[in-house]
Amino acid sequence: MVNILDPENMTGCQKAAVFLMAMGEDYAASVFEKMNEREIGEIAFEMSKVDHITPEMLKIVSAEFVEKFEGESKIIVEKDSFIKNIVSKTLTADNARAILDDLEKKKQDKPFIWSRNVNVGTLAGYVVGEHPQTIAMILAHMPSEISSEILMTLPDDQKGDIALRIARLGQISEDVVRDVDVALKMELSGAVGPGGKAGGLEVLVDIINGVDKSTEDAVMEFVEEDDAEMANDIRNLMFVFEDLTSIDDTAMREILKKVEGQQLTYALKTATDEMKEKIFSNLSQRAGEMLKDDLDAMGPVRLTEVEEAQQAVIRAAKELEADGTITLGKGKDDVLV
């Protein structure tokens, strides 16, 4: 099976992995020498999921590679030996063995992780035919950004029901999860590249945070009618674009580093003055002036494009929080009003 990352949706860690693999073992080893063991382990894990480096991927991670690799060619990488060699060159034998053993364990312990490498439309076509409880279990265990896209494709009269089932999903037997994982992966074997938690409110909120406004409204309306208290809990846990006004400036600057200029411009189209001020105060004077000029010059845009851009900013923030780089501080006991 061939595993190719989606160039437009790579995380920072995935970009680093692609760049280092493209630069070669010696260069990667020299970079690893400047990292701690946790960072090396995370990047090595992302390297293990890459079989091909396409020109599109290189355009994203390094402008220098555009001229060299633009076109249909690919770099075939021997990922296992590559990772083993650079980790072994960088760390002591015991530490290298520990990271490589942990890497193998991580690769085995991630059901549905392969869903990142499948066309979402194709994946949704298979999932939608399952029993609602099975759909809920699958979405609860998939990466939240994939589950968000699948939830958006479901009929409106099913979205709320599936959401409630996710929120109420108890602990699922690991054997059951892996059986469904294997079965679905086999069904999608032509579309998949190589590559037991419970459900609950936090899993559902992660999914809702990635869907469009119409899907969010459909879900919340259904939940509100069935369980008003749960609907309130979900709202308290949800993190929305305007909540970024309450994070500290250091965290905001980290987020802005990960957001493309056009995305930020679109995201601010409907933003409050407070949100705009938060953004501008954390940009350089030159970058702020350019952003203001872009906003002034922008004509009417579709609301869906603005919402998608705001979701992109939120996803960047959540990736940084997951990496431990920033803290968003959103939860039941820290409701932003």
Angle of CA points 278, 279, 281, to nearest 5°: 70
Closest C-alpha to 329, from 252, 215, 258: 252
- 73-122 pLDDT per residue, tens: 444 445 556 677 777 777 788 887 778 777 766 555 567 777 776 777 77
Per the prediction, the chain carries an average pLDDT of 77
**What does the block give as tokens for 18?**
């692609």
pTM: 0.39
CA dist 16 and 43 (Å) reads 7
CA dist 50 and 77 (Å) reads 8
Give the C-alpha distances (Å, rounded to integers) separating 154 from 101, 205, 320: 39, 17, 29
- 122-165 pLDDT per residue, tens: 778 778 878 889 888 888 888 888 888 888 888 888 889 999 99
CA dist 82 and 90 (Å) reads 12
